[in-house]
Homo-oligomer: A and B are copies of this chain.
Amino acid sequence: MNEVKYKIGIDIGGTNIKMGVVNDKNEIIAKKSIKTDVKLGYIKIIKNMANAIKELLYLHKIDLNNCISIGIGCPGTVNFKTGEILFAANLLWEGVPLAEELKKNIDLPIKVSNDANCAALGEAIAGGAKGVHNMVLITLGTGVGGGVIIDGKIYEGGSPGGVELGHTVLVVDGEQCTCGRKGCFEAYASATALIRDTKRAAEKNPNSLINELCSKNLSKINGLTPFEAARLGDEEGIAIIDRYIMHLAEGIIDIVNIFRPEKILLSGGIANQGDALIEPLKKYVKKYTFAGDKIHVADIKQATLGNDAGIIGAANL
C-alpha cells in the first residue's frame, strides 16, 4: 500500500493555468500547463482544469485517493474563506465560485488564495525564504504585487479585498496608476513604470545610448534596456536606474516599517538583475528604515523558485 500523500497546486494566470502534484517534501513530481482561454467562461475553464488534473494524475500513475487537497492561486481579489473570486480583471471573472465549481468535478478539499500570496508561501516553504516565518515577496512585473507571510501563514487581510502592496502611495498626486489612484508603488517600481521612464528619457535625450540599444525603435525598449545602458556607462541609463532603485527602496522601507519581516524576496524579470539592483537597494533601505541603525533590517534577496513558487504555495494552502 502506498502511504505517500500528495497535494495538488494550481496557478491560474491570464494566459496559462499551471498545475502540479507536490509530495510531502514539497517537490513538484508532476507538472502540466493548459491555455486559459478566457472567452470560454468560468464553468468550462474550471471543467478543463479538472480534466487536466485527472490526465496529469493518470499519466503519472497517481491515484486520486492518494491526493489530500487542492490549492489554487488565482489573480484578482479572492475571498479565501469561501474560495470565491470576487473579481479578476484579466480573467473577466466577477463573483466566480471557483472552489465550489471545481469541487463538482473533483471531490477534494479545495482552498483558494491570491496568486501572489501563493508564490510568497511557496518561497517561504521551499524557496528563497525556506524556514523563514515572517517574510514578504514582492513581484516586479507588469504591476507590483506581493504576498505577506506572518508566522508561516499567508496574511489575507482583515476583510476580503486582498493585501495590495503595489497600491500604497509613494508620491501623492504622482504618476497615474492603473487602480485609479495616483503615485502608487506600482506606478514607480513595476517593469511597466521602468519602461515608461526609459522611453521618456530616450525621447528627451536623442543621443542617449538607450536609443542605440533599441535601434531607435522605442517600442523595443524593455525592462532590461536601462540596466544595459547603465552598465555601459550611459548617463541617462544610470540616472533611470538610480531613480528606479530609489523608488523601489522607498516602497520596501514602508513594508519594513509596517511588517518588520525577517526577509524580503524580489521576483519577476527585474529581480534577475541581481547585485546591480539589490546591493544599492539594501544600502538605501538600511539607511532610511525607522530605527534601521539600531535593529535588524530585513535581508533582501532574489526569489529562487520562479513559476514553481505559485504551485508549491497553492498546494500548501
Contact = CB atoms under 8 A, between A and B. Distances in A.
Interface in A143-182: 150, 155, 157-165, 167-172, 179-181
A267 to B, nearest CB: 19
Contacts of A179: 290-291
Contacts of A165: 258
Nearest to A163: B258
Given A163-B260, A168-B258, 5 more contacts: A87-B294, A162-B290, A169-B170, A169-B254, A254-B254
Given A158-B133, A294-B87, A296-B160, A171 B168 contact: no
Contact of A261 (B134, B159, B160, B288): B159
Interface stretch (A6-14, A21-29, A245-253, A305-313): A245-253
15 contacts: A77-B291, A77-B295, A86-B295, A87-B294, A134-B159, A157-B258, A159-B262, A161-B290, A161-B291, A161-B296, A162-B260, A163-B257, A169-B170, A171-B171, A172-B247
A259 interface: yes
Interface of A: 77, 86-87, 133-135, 150, 155, 157-165, 167-172, 179-181, 246-247, 250, 253-254, 256-262, 288, 290-291, 294-296, 298
A166 to B, nearest CB: 9
Max chain B Cβ within 10 angstroms of own Cβ: one of A133, A259, A296: A259
A294 to B, nearest CB: 6
The secondary-structure label for the interface of chain A is loop
Contacts of A259: 157-158, 163
A5 B77 CA distance: 45
Contacts of A260: 157-163
Contacts of A135: 158
Max chain B Cβ within 10 angstroms of own Cβ: one of A155, A159, A250, A262: A159
A170 B253 CA distance: 12
Contacts of A87: 291, 294
A288 B181 contact: yes
Contact of A258 (B164, B171, B180): B164
A260 to B, nearest CB: 3
A204 B134 CA distance: 48
A169 to B, nearest CB: 5
Max chain B Cβ within 10 angstroms of own Cβ: one of A77, A157, A256, A291: A291
B150 A290 contact: no
A182 to B, nearest CB: 9
A160 B258 contact: no
